[in-house]
Amino acid sequence: MDTLETQFHVPMINLLLSTADDKLFLGHRNSDWTGIAPILEADIAFSSLAQDDIAHASAFYELTSTLNNEKPDAIAFGRKSDEYLCADIVTKSDKFDWANAIARQFYCNVYDYIRLKMLSNSNWSPLANLSKRICAEQTVHVDHVNSWINHLGNGNGDSNKRIQTALDEYSECAGKLFEAPEGIEELFKKNILPCEDCFYTTWKEKVDIIANRANLTINVKANSTIGARRGKHDEDFNRSLSELQEVFNTDPLATW
């Protein structure tokens, strides 16, 4: 279907914002590595992936604007802190530790790939078409971070220890990725989205396979406690939001 009934606009907006906000803040965090990544190839690749995520976020904000009639830039940068629906992990500081950045990227990239696969099967064609296009690009993200997981896990004792420590440190907030956006059950009931009861199981199986090949262990449990996807954020989020909104607050008419 090309048109979404008005009664489903709010839950769909929550879904779109949770997806877009995850992408925007992850891209912003990863852009911090531009010019300082461990090797030149990693620097170029990480910067490119950050640009991809921000572009993906922009596309989802544009789709959101068709439902709430707000300008995409205002949606991206003009909301109050409790109106952002991203998961904690995408704003969690990596303390400029490369292992932390890779662990965060690994958890988020695999999650995004599976989420986009689900959204690609939506009965609302604008969402399905956008998700299919972005999912193809997301494959590149997954392949890239998987190569780093393999490289660090199978490198030497020190690199294995560092990436395992990072994976463990980010495990709790990775579990919070699975907090459902408010109202998504309505989209499942009306078959606007395919019901994905096995979302976490599918994700866990995929990350386990990749980690096992790198002699690493994933200790993540799904956590559906109400939190960031309902606007309850931590200080890492507040710092990231302040950075993102600086230009918009100075000149709201500036275009993205």
pLDDT digits (tens, 9 = 90+) for 194-226: 987 789 999 999 999 999 999 999 999 999 889
How much is the average pLDDT of 241-249?
Answer: 89
How much is the average pLDDT of 58-67?
Answer: 98
The pLDDT tens digits for 137-167 are 999 999 999 999 999 999 999 999 999 999 9
Q: Is the pLDDT of residue 256 over 70?
A: no
- For residue 189 the two structure tokens come to 């009931």
* Helix extents (H) in 32-124: 40-68, 72-77, 98-119
Q: What is the pTM of this model?
A: 0.95
Q: What is the mean pLDDT of the chain?
A: 95
Length of the chain: 256
pLDDT at 253: 67
Homologous superfamily (CATH) for 6-250? Ferritin, core subunit, four-helix bundle (1.20.1260.10)
First to last CA, the chain: 30
How much is the average pLDDT of 29-45?
Answer: 91
Burial profile 22-31: b = 16 or more Cβ within 10 angstroms, e = fewer: bbbbbbbbbe
pLDDT at 254: 65
